[in-house]
Amino acid sequence: MSETKRDRAKLMVNLDLITKEEFVNKTGFSEDQWYYWFGDGKKIGPPNSDQIEVICSTFDWSPTYIFFGLGFVRLSEIKAFHESTKLAQQVKRTEERQTEILSKLDQLTMLLTSPKTV
């Protein structure tokens, strides 16, 4: 059987040791919704997109992971990755600028130290 977004959400609940009470208190969803989403009864189903947004932001879960099973598991991991990517881009631009400045300094040094012709 293929893993579903419901399966991944249940996995995250178990990994994070989230109790029904904690879930209800933090998200504002009902106990019935808890059982529908995470229970093993006859009436089961996944949260909808809006509900997943609330759940993911509340518990630091990545919606991409919940929906598709891809990428980082935590929202905080995605944010950290994007921050490190931005930093790497800034470092690259700085290094390129330094190379440009050094090249111009070399050109200037050559002009200043070359023999002058009359």
Q: Which tens digit of pLDDT belongs to each residue from 18-60?
A: 999 999 999 999 999 999 988 887 888 888 889 989 999 999 9
| The dihedral sign for the CA sequence 6, 12, 14, 18 | negative
User: Given its phi and psi angles, is residue 69 left (phi above 0), alpha (psi -120 to 50 degrees) or beta?
Assistant: left
> pLDDT digit string (tens) for 13-27?
999 999 999 999 999
Domains of the chain, residue spans: 5-73, 75-113
* Contact yes or no for 59/12 (Cβ under 8 A): yes
Comparing 55 with 117, which gets the higher pLDDT?
A: 55
Residue 1 has pLDDT above 60, yes or no: no
Lowest mean pLDDT among 15-19, 24-28, 68-72, 91-95: 91-95
**pLDDT for position 118:** 60
The class level of CATH for 5-73 reads mainly alpha
Comparing 81 with 20, which gets the higher pLDDT?
A: 20
Q: Could you give the CA distance from residue 20 to residue 98 in angstroms, rounded to a whole number?
A: 56
Residue 92 has pLDDT above 60, yes or no: yes
Give the 3-state secondary structure of residue 19: coil
